[in-house]
Amino acid sequence: MPMTILTVDDSRTMRDMLNLALSEAGYRVVDAVDGAHGLERLREEKPDVIITDINMPRLDGFGFIEAVRNDPGYRSIPILVLTTENAPEKKDRARKAGATGWIVKPFDAEKLVSAVRRVAA
């Protein structure tokens, strides 16, 4: 069975791009429109990897990552954050919240998939 990846991003364009690249690489992709929705989808879909945006309505990426890490079932699930800029302070905050790694936007498919491979079995 292919690995399931949960993508969390409020931009439909970005979700579609992630979904395209990841499904072409053979992953099963499920998505969510913000952090709060992401937590719901997490329970429904039990993904193997999470890719999340940072700036989102309702629950942003930092809050989402913290919530995921506080759930004993997902304490060690790999979480990659999407950052537009190479902004070190954002990366740092995401790391503090518990992010496993990051992907700098705009990304190409190769970069995305290699980041996923790096964190996922």
Partner 1 sequence: MTAVDTMATIRQTFFQECEEQLNETETGLLALEIGEADAETVNAVFRAVHSIKGGAGAFKFERLVRFAHKFETALDRLRDHRMEPSPGVMKIMLRSADLLADLVREAQGQQEVEDARLQALSADLAGLSEDEAPAPAAASDEGDSFGFQPLTLSLDGFAPVAAMQDWRIFFRPMPDLYRRGNEPARILRELAQLGAVSTRCDASALPLLDAFDPNGAYLAWTIDLATAAPRDAVEEVFDFVRDDCELTIETVAAASAAKDEAANGDGLDFTPLTIDLPAPEAAATPREKPKPEIAKLETAKAEAPVSQTIRVDLERVDRLANLVGELVINQAMLSQSILDAGLPRACKAFDDLTSLEQLTREIQEGIMAIRAQPVKPLFQRMTRIVRELADMTGKQVRLKTEGEATEVDRTVFEKLADPLTHMIRNAIDHGLESPEERRAAGKPDQGEVRLSAAHRSGRIFIDVSDDGKGIDRARVKAKAVEKDLIAADAQLSSAEIDSLLFLPGFSTASTVSDISGRGVGMDVVRSSIQSLGGRISITSRPGLGTTFSMSLPLTLAVLDGMVVRVADQTLVAPLTAIVETLRPKAQQVHRLGVETRVLADRGVFVPLIDVGREMGYRDDEADPTLGVVIIVESEGGRRCALIVDAILDQRQVVIKSLETNYQHIPGVAAATILGDGRVALILDIDIFVAGASAHAQSPLAAE
Rounded Cα distance between 29 and 15, Å, is 10
Torsion of CA 27, 108, 44, 75, to 10 degrees: 100
Task: Please report, as residue ranges, which positions from 24 to 53 form the binding site for partner 1 (by CB under 8 A).
Answer: 24, 33, 36-37, 39-40, 43
> With binding defined as CB under 8 A, does residue 2 bind partner 1?
no
Minimum CB separation from partner 1 for residue 74, in Å?
A: 8
Among 1, 79, 6, which Cα is nearest to 42's? 6
Which of 4, 7, 16, 28 touches partner 1 (CB under 8 A)?
16
Minimum CB separation from partner 1 for residue 11, in Å?
A: 4
Which residue, 2 or 84, is less far from partner 1 as judged by CB? 84
State the residue for tokens 């992709």.
29
